[in-house]
Amino acid sequence: MSANNEEMVVTPWEVSGKIDYDKLVREFGTQPITPELLERIQKHTGTLHPQLQRRIFFSHRDLDWILQRYEAGEKFVLYTGRGPSGPVHIGHLVPWIFTKYLQDKFDAKLYFQMTDDEKFLYHDEFSLDEPQKWAYENALDLIALGFDPKKTRIIMDTKSMGTLYNLAIRIAKHMTFSTVRAVFGFQDSTNIGMLFYPAIQAVPAFLESELEGHNVPCLIPAAIDQDPYWRVTRDVAPKLGFYKPAQIHCRFVPGLGRGGKMSASMPETSIFTVDSPEVAAKKVMGAFTGGRATIEEQKRLGANPDICSVFAYDYFLFMDDKEIEDLRFNCLAGNIMCGECKQVLTERVKKFLVEHQEKREKAKDHFEEFLFNPKDI
C-alpha cells in the first residue's frame, strides 16, 4: 500500500507515493496546459470538458501544434490504449470518457490498442490466453462508453500483429538497447519481448499516416505514466518521416483507500465496472475520507476534502461544478458528515454501474464492428 508520504514513483508499471504533478511536468519535460490553450480548445469545442476545466488533463506535448494543424484544415487521429491484465475499474474510464469527447468534438478517428502482448510479457504468471480474454472483456467497457464504430478501431495486438509488424520493425531499428534501458529501466534479466515492446506501442501513433500514405497528426490522451513510451516514439518519428505524436496527459484517479491510484491489484479499494451495485456500495462505505475522529469535532473543525477519496470520486466523475463547489464548502465548514457523502456517492456509483453494465451487455453484439483488421487497409 502506498502511503501519502512515500517517495513518488511513476513508471508505466508502477505508480505510488504522493504524486507531485508539477514535478512530473518538470522531470518529464512536458508543458502545462495554460489558460490560453484552454481558450483555444474551447473555440472548437464550444464548452470545455470538466476534465479540462478541473485540470484532470493538465499537461501536454505539442497540443498547440495539433490545434494549429486542425485550424489549417488538417484532421488528426486519436490514439489511446489499455494493458488488459484484469477487469476495468471506473478510474480507467476517466481518460476514455475524455477521449470520446475529443472524438465527438473534433470528428476524429480513434485507434485503441489492447496490449495483450505487453501484459503477457510483463506478468510472469500469465498464460497468453489470460490477457487475450481481458482484452475482449475490456473492449466491451470501451464500446459501452458510446464510441462511434465507424470512427473507432480497436487493435488487439496479438491478433493484428501481421499488419502492425512492418511498421514495428522499422521503428525498432531506430530504438537502441541503451535508449530503452535508460528510459524504462530494463535490466539484464528483463525478457527480450519487453525490450521490443516499446516499438509496438509506438505503431498506432504512425498507423494512420502509414495507411493513408501521407502524414496525419496524432494526439494521444493518456495518463502521464505512459509518457516514456511517447518520448522514444517521438525520437523515432522524424527518422521515418512521420510527424511526432502529440500528447495530452491526465492525472491518476485515486483509489478508495488512503493515497495511491485506483489499482486492480487492490480490489477492495477499486470499483470494477462489473462489480454488482451492492459490492460497489460496500467499497464506497469503507472508503478513506478526510473526516475527523468524532462527529462533534467534525462539526466544529470541518473536514478535509483534499485528502478524501469520496470527494475525489465526485470530482473526477460524478458531480457538476455547482455540486462540487457546494460539497467542498460544506465539507470544510463541518456542515456535512462523511456518512452522508458516502451515501450520495454510493447512489451515483450504483446508478452508473447499472447503466454501464446494460450498455456493456449490448456491446457484445457490436464487438466485431470495432475491430481493426487488415481489411481496413
* Interface ranges with ligand TRP (CB under 6 A): 12, 79-83, 113, 115, 118, 201, 220, 222, 226
Q: Which one, 217 or 291, has the nearer CB to ligand TRP? A: 217
For ligand TRP, which is the closer residue by CB, 84 or 302? 84
Shortest reach from residue 315's CB to ligand TRP, in Å: 22
Smallest separation, CB 282 to ligand TRP (Å): 27
CB of 340 to ligand TRP, least distance (A): 35
Residue number, 115 or 289, with CB nearest to ligand TRP: 115
Q: Which is nearer to ligand TRP, 249 or 283 (CB)?
A: 249
**Closer by beta carbon to ligand TRP, 12 or else 291:** 12
String of b and e for 92-119 (b: at least 16 CB within 10 Å)?
bbbbbbbbbbbbeebebbbbbbbbbbbb
**Is the Cβ of residue 227 or residue 314 nearer to ligand TRP in the bound state?**
227
Compare residues 14 and 323 and give the one whose CB is closer to ligand TRP: 14
Cα separation, 50 vs 54, whole angstroms: 6
Of 252 and 311, which has the nearer Cβ to ligand TRP? 252
CB of 320 to ligand TRP, least distance (A): 27
Give least dist CB 197 to ligand TRP, A.
9
Nearer to ligand TRP, 83 or 255 (CB): 83
- Minimum distance from CB of 221 to ligand TRP (Å)? 8
Give the integer Cα–Cα distance in Å for 197 and 188: 16
In whole angstroms, how close is the CB of 82 to ligand TRP at the nearest point?
Answer: 5
Q: How far is the CB of 17 from ligand TRP (least distance, A)?
A: 19
Q: Shortest distance, CB of residue 354 to ligand TRP, whole angstroms?
A: 27
Query: Which residue do the cell numbers 456493456 mark?
Result: 360
Q: What is the dihedral of CA 167, 88, 325, 310, to 10 degrees?
A: -140
**Half-sphere exposure for 83 (CA within 13 Å, toward CB):** 21
